[in-house]
Structure 1
Amino acid sequence: MGSRKILSIVLVIIAYLVGTGLSYLFFSASASSKSVTSPVTAPKNASGQTMFDPSLPKTQACPLNGAKYSKQQEAWWEKHAPLGIMIENHEDSRPQSGLSGADIIYEAVAEGGITRFLAMYYCQDAGIVGPVRSARTYFVDFVSEYGSFPLYVHVGGANQPGPADALGQISQYGWDGYNDLNQFSIGFPVFWRDYTRLGHPTSTEHTMYSSLDKLWDYAAKERKLTNVDEDGKSWDEDFTPYTFKEDAPSSQRPSSQTADVQFWSGYNDYFVSWKYDPASNSYKRFIGGSPQIDKDNNKQLTAKSVVVLSMVEMNANDGYENNLHLLYRNEGSGKATIFMDGKRITGTWEKDSRTSRTIIKDGSGTPIKFNRGLIWFQILPTDGVLAVK
């Protein structure tokens, strides 16, 4: 074999080894870079609840309430749309599950002086939620603020022909069988009844539960609704977020404040007190004179901002038994009272249409910047009582 041929072979081998080594270094560096910058998928516990790493830096703001979480958690919530779930507040339905994991809560009387919640979930996995109850037209209006096809979870609803016909309106809006997650059309295993969860005897209507994992999974697989709809439109394309601020410094927080909310006179089981805690700069919730607890974690419910919306309440006069169905004048404007940082702010609310955002302003007409964390809206009839001390 000639010396020139041997030299050529040696050069080829050297080139091969150099190329292989460079490729290895390149792809190793790429893989290493990805492992640093890409969030690790969060694991689930036995009940399907997503468990996030609490040690990760909390730098990403939740679009709904401004609370900050990790990039790992943000990567999770960006894959779905908000869920609005009807959770009841009948005294026999307490303690409820999952309310402490909501981002925003709306509270109003459903019938007979008994309040009900529309709990909005997006940035946290609250796990099991319930008891789930029926739809009401004014809650449909509030959930409509979260995109053209918000995921709305309920068990049936008011369906008497007339202005309070929530199920008829859901069909009219094109939600039926799409973003409307009605237990009547879905059933087990997404929804199930649990007669022992509350730890005390209760009627069947107080036993319906679901979980965020099952609901988001069903919406994605059966309705093709994730963070985008079937046309590829992102849920937040028309969403108007609130603006947020940091908590007031400890030195500027008062030692105490109490806000008492009485929706209907004489209904003491639904009398709500919010007691300010300066250490956490939040408001602890009491109902009927006792702390209101989340069954999932045995913790008292708290809110970073409490907003009392004064609205005209009226009977629907739709022929339903005892004229129980209610309406609220939740479009237009009215008085709002905001509690944050241990202080009371008197302002206004505005909502131009069903799908427009309820805007909260202070007395000078400037939009409120909320503290980061759970915002709790209470719809108080204009003849209801709000006492502050």
Structure 2
Amino acid sequence: MDKNKLVIILSAFALYFLSAGFSYFIFSKGLAGGLTDSPIPAPTLSNGQVTFDESLPKTQECPLNGVKYSKQQENWWQKHRPLGVMIENHEESRPQSGLSGADVIYEAVAEGGITRFLAVYYCQEGGILGPVRSARTYFLDFISEYGNYPLYAHVGGANQSGPADAISQISDYGWSSYNDLNQFSISAPTFLRDEDRIGHPVATEHTMYSSAGKLWGFAQKQRELTNVDKKNNSWDEDFVSYKFSEDISASERPASQSVHLEFWNNKNYYVDWTYDPKTNLYKRNNGGSTHTDLNNKKQLTAKNVVVLLMRESNANDGYENNIHLLYQTKGTGKAIVFKDGERVDATWKKTNRTARTILTDAKGNEIKFNRGLIWFEIMATDSTITVK
């Protein structure tokens, strides 16, 4: 090969590698005006729980409570549907696991003045969840607000024939063995008993746990439910999101506010919310003690505390001691919204089971919630509520 041909070949190779390297630099680093986006890293799995890169920009709004998360986290939550979990609040069940990781929480008396929680998960994983307890009819009305076939996890439920028969209603709604995740029909390891988790002896009914990851995984593998159902319908086609606003500035916040709620005449279940102007959060005490989450040992807090005053009555279904309750969840009634250290007297309205519970102020304007956990307190219309 003569010298001139060799120079031409070497020059061609050099030009090829130079152009390839330049193209890679242009398109991978975004020098060409951002023609391509850098790939979004997948979340990591640690001890069975999904974790996200907290250094990523938080630009994506959670549709349930307005909190801004990263695109990485949004990509993750868009692969499943909202999950409601029945978590009990019996004294022996405290501290519960996973309440601090919920996007929205509903609290109402289950029986005998003992409250129970419907914790709704979508944008956060939540970790270990429990103790999981039984279904109640009025909680079905609230989880029904979260789009088409929301996942609903519980351990059995009220099944006495009559208006409080939650198990029959689940069947009537077409949820049985589909989006309904009843522990009675789901074997381990999706649900597991842990007699030692709380750290003190408890009755068996206070020992059932699961996790959002296990429940979403079961729904995907066994029920073909992800963000879409078997017919490829997205869960959020008819979902109505609340409206959200930013926190008021620190200089505008009041120095203090306390909210005292009395569920029946049972001091062990009285709730106190204390406003913290530094964080613009309400800190929760239950039964006179700090209410914490066993997962992280931190006190439970909420950005918005919403008291829904609803007519409470006994089901009169013949069940022992007539303990099954009903709440008038549909229609309209009075409400009180606590946010930014202020009280807003409001009106709630819910037209049917699947309709959103909408809150409006005295002028008829829909109330905007602060971005963060929304904690609904469902109380009888004659309940004692003290605000200072």
TM-score, normalization: structure 1? 0.94
User: Who is 1:204 aligned against?
Assistant: 204
Query: 1:193-226: CA deviations, max 9, x gaps?
Result: 0000001100000000001111111111111111
Q: 1:248 to 1:204 in 2, by over 3 A?
A: same
Rounded Cα–Cα distance in structure 2 between residues aligned with 1:235 and 1:64: 13
Q: Which amino acid aligns with 1:62?
A: C
User: Who is 1:104 aligned against?
Assistant: 104
User: Who is 1:172 aligned against?
Assistant: 172
1:37 Cα shift?
2.8
SS at match of 1:300: coil
Query: 1:65-105: CA deviations, max 9, x gaps?
Result: 00111111111111111110000000000000000010000
**1:52-131 alignment to 2 at 5 Å?**
52-131=52-131
User: Who is 1:216 aligned against?
Assistant: 216
Rounded Cα–Cα distance in structure 2 between residues aligned with 1:79 and 1:148: 15
Rounded Cα–Cα distance in structure 2 between residues aligned with 1:10 and 1:120: 69
Misfit runs of 4+, over 6 Å: 9-17
Rounded Cα–Cα distance in structure 1 between residues aligned with 2:71 and 2:327: 39
Q: Which amino acid aligns with 2:157?
A: G
User: Who is 1:253 aligned against?
Assistant: 253
User: Who is 1:304 aligned against?
Assistant: 303
Rounded Cα–Cα distance in structure 2 between residues aligned with 1:104 and 1:25: 49
1:126 Cα shift?
1.1
**1:1-389 alignment to 2 at 5 Å?**
22=19, 26=23, 30=27, 37-46=38-47, 48-265=48-265, 267-389=266-388
SS at match of 2:181: strand
Rounded Cα–Cα distance in structure 1 between residues aligned with 2:221 and 2:283: 38
SS at match of 2:318: coil
Q: 1:12 to 1:362 in 2, by over 3 A?
A: same
Q: 1:270 to 1:35 in 2, by over 3 A?
A: farther
Q: Which amino acid aligns with 1:191?
A: F
1:280 Cα shift?
0.5
Paired residues of 2:148 and 2:234 also in contact (CA < 8 A): no
Rounded Cα–Cα distance in structure 1 between residues aligned with 2:11 and 2:170: 71
SS at match of 1:336: strand
Q: Which amino acid aligns with 1:306?
A: V
Q: Which amino acid aligns with 1:353?
A: N
Rounded Cα–Cα distance in structure 2 between residues aligned with 1:384 and 1:200: 32
Rounded Cα–Cα distance in structure 2 between residues aligned with 1:67 and 1:292: 23
Query: 1:128-147: CA deviations, max 9, x gaps?
Result: 00000000010011000011
Q: 1:194 to 1:35 in 2, by over 3 A?
A: farther
Kindly tell me the number of residue pairs found equivalent between the two proteins: 384
SS at match of 2:168: helix
Rounded Cα–Cα distance in structure 1 between residues aligned with 2:146 and 2:15: 56
SS at match of 2:40: coil
Rounded Cα–Cα distance in structure 2 between residues aligned with 1:37 and 1:135: 45
Paired residues of 2:103 and 2:374 also in contact (CA < 8 A): yes
Rounded Cα–Cα distance in structure 1 between residues aligned with 2:92 and 2:114: 11
Gaps of 5+ in 1: none
Rounded Cα–Cα distance in structure 2 between residues aligned with 1:20 and 1:180: 58
SS at match of 2:359: strand
Rounded Cα–Cα distance in structure 1 between residues aligned with 2:228 and 2:274: 39
Rounded Cα–Cα distance in structure 1 between residues aligned with 2:280 and 2:152: 31
1:17 Cα shift?
7.6
1:289 Cα shift?
0.7
SS at match of 2:309: strand
1:27 Cα shift?
5.8
Moved more, 22-31 or 212-221: 22-31
Rounded Cα–Cα distance in structure 2 between residues aligned with 1:181 and 1:30: 46
Rounded Cα–Cα distance in structure 2 between residues aligned with 1:255 and 1:215: 42
Query: 1:215-253: CA deviations, max 9, x gaps?
Result: 111111111111111111111110000011111111111
- Identity within the alignment, %: 61
Rounded Cα–Cα distance in structure 2 between residues aligned with 1:153 and 1:19: 59
1:160 Cα shift?
0.8
TM-score, normalization: structure 2? 0.94
Rounded Cα–Cα distance in structure 2 between residues aligned with 1:201 and 1:374: 31
Rounded Cα–Cα distance in structure 2 between residues aligned with 1:16 and 1:170: 69
SS at match of 1:59: strand
Moved more, 371-380 or 248-257: 248-257
1:57 Cα shift?
1.6
Query: 1:130-186: CA deviations, max 9, x gaps?
Result: 000000010011000011200001011111111111010101111101100111111
Paired residues of 2:269 and 2:287 also in contact (CA < 8 A): yes
Rounded Cα–Cα distance in structure 2 between residues aligned with 1:229 and 1:20: 49
1:38 Cα shift?
2.4
Rounded Cα–Cα distance in structure 2 between residues aligned with 1:30 and 1:153: 46
